[in-house]
Amino acid sequence: MRGKIIKGIAGFYYVHDGKELVVQCRAKGVFRSRGLKPLVGDDVEFDLTDEKDLEGNITEILPRKNALVRPAAANVDQALVVFSITHPEPNLNLLDRFLVMMEAQEVPVVICFNKTDLTGGAGEETYRAAYEAAGYEVLFISARKGLGLEEVRSRMEGKTTVLAGPSGVGKSSLTNALFPQAAMETGSISKKIQRGKHTTRHTELFSLGENTYMMDTPGFSSMYIEDMEAGELKDYFPEFSRWEDGCKFLGCVHVGEKVCGVKDAVERGDIGRSRYENYRLMYQELKDKRRY
């Protein structure tokens, strides 16, 4: 039989048969010996070993379109990167790191700022300007008040979308708002440090309609850029390339060079300053790593 992994907990994988059955499966040892770990979103072949209790074995993982490490998920068409506009304040450094990782994996991104009910629109234009200039679509929503949900839903139509973002920004609240049967647990924000409490512990996939899936995932609080040369990083800031004609050197990395079209664009405000500053931080980090 064929199905899709919708959840994995403690060595069990829950496989949806595409109709109404969810079968609790083990994965055979062969996967481990091949260094393969089943992921939520995987399409699999499985044997039903117990029809009454709905237990089975995954016998094959079908070829993947892609496999993300963070959040762990397979066969993703796009990521909806969720941050909250306040409570907690958006950590733009983390957002930019996340965007770099998605660019490197060639996963299209839609950026979504949640909790607009708390701000009444304040601060939105700055974020919109910086990220639209970078080529991303930016949505402002309130999962709690149901604002902007139709726009989110229309972006999801016919695709598999993974939600990703820090803890406490409202990923599970958004999941429930779009798909009430999901009944994901949501958690409060710690008053003192304004951070989420890592309420969601595993990734779960929901079917919203024909060929339309969304995945809720655990929040993350840091992200290290790995497996990348410092000189490669600029390629993952999509807004840089159109200004590179103004750089004196081919392969300019837009850091120490004197004549640099990208740095000029930052000065003029054509590239968001925080985007550029975060680029420099990550660049330096990758440089430092190379020494060891």
Ligand X SMILES: Nc1nc2c(ncn2[C@@H]2O[C@H](COP(=O)(O)OP(=O)(O)OP(=O)(O)O)[C@@H](O)[C@H]2O)c(=O)[nH]1
Could you tell me the smallest distance in angstroms from the CB atom of residue 291 to ligand X? 35
Should residue 88 be labelled a site residue for ligand X when binding is judged by CB under 6 A?
no
**109: exposed, middle or buried (Cβ count in 10 Å: 0-12, 13-18, 19+):** buried
Give the nearer residue to Mg ion in terms of CB position, either 33 or 222.
222
Question: If you search the block for the tokens 């000029």, which residue do you land on?
Answer: 264
Inter-CA distances, 42 with 55, 72, 115, Å: 18, 11, 32
Look at residue 161 and give the partner it binds from Zn ion, ligand X, Mg ion, none, a contact being a CB closer than 5 to 8 Å depending on partner kind. none
**Least Å distance between CB 93 and ligand X?**
18
Whole-angstrom Cα distance, residue 216 to residue 203?
Answer: 6
Q: Which is nearer to Zn ion, 150 or 267 (CB)?
A: 267
Round to the nearest angstrom and report the end-to-end CA distance of the chain: 49
Q: How far is the CB of 141 from ligand X (least distance, A)?
A: 7
Q: Does 143 bind ligand X (CB under 6 A)?
A: yes
Written as six digits, the tokens of 141 are 């929503």
Run of H or E residues at 288: helix 273-290
Q: Interface with Mg ion by CB under 5 A: which residues? A: 171-172, 199-200
Residue 173 touches ligand X, criterion: CB under 6 A:
yes
Evaluate whether 131 touches 138 at the Cβ level (below 8 Å): yes
**Residue 161 interacts with ligand X (CB under 6 A): yes or no:** no
Nearer to ligand X, 6 or 253 (CB): 6
**Torsion-angle region of residue 15: left (phi > 0), alpha (psi -120 to 50) or beta?**
beta
CB atoms within 10 A of CB 211: 11
* Residue 89 Cβ vs Mg ion, minimum distance, rounded to whole Å: 18
Which C-beta is closer to ligand X: that of 161 or that of 200?
200
Q: How many residues bind ligand X (CB under 6 A)?
A: 25
Q: Which of 108, 123, 187, 246 binds ligand X (CB under 6 A)?
A: 187
Residue nearest to ligand X (CB): 219
The torsion angle over the Cα atoms of residues 28, 34, 36 and 37, rounded to 10 degrees, is: 40
How many Cβ atoms from other residues are within 10 Å of residue 18's Cβ? 12
For ligand X, the closer of residues 160 and 167 by Cβ is 167
Residue 26 contacts ligand X per CB under 6 A:
no
Give the integer Cα–Cα distance in Å for 214 and 205.
Answer: 6
Sign of CA dihedral 148, 208, 95, 255: negative
In angstroms, what is the minimal distance from the CB of 147 to ligand X? Answer: 8
The footprint of ligand X on residues 216-255 (CB under 6 A) is: 218-219
Mark the segment that binds ligand X (CB under 6 A) among 6-14, 198-206, 235-243, 283-291: 198-206
Closest distance to Mg ion from the beta carbon of 68 (Å)? 17
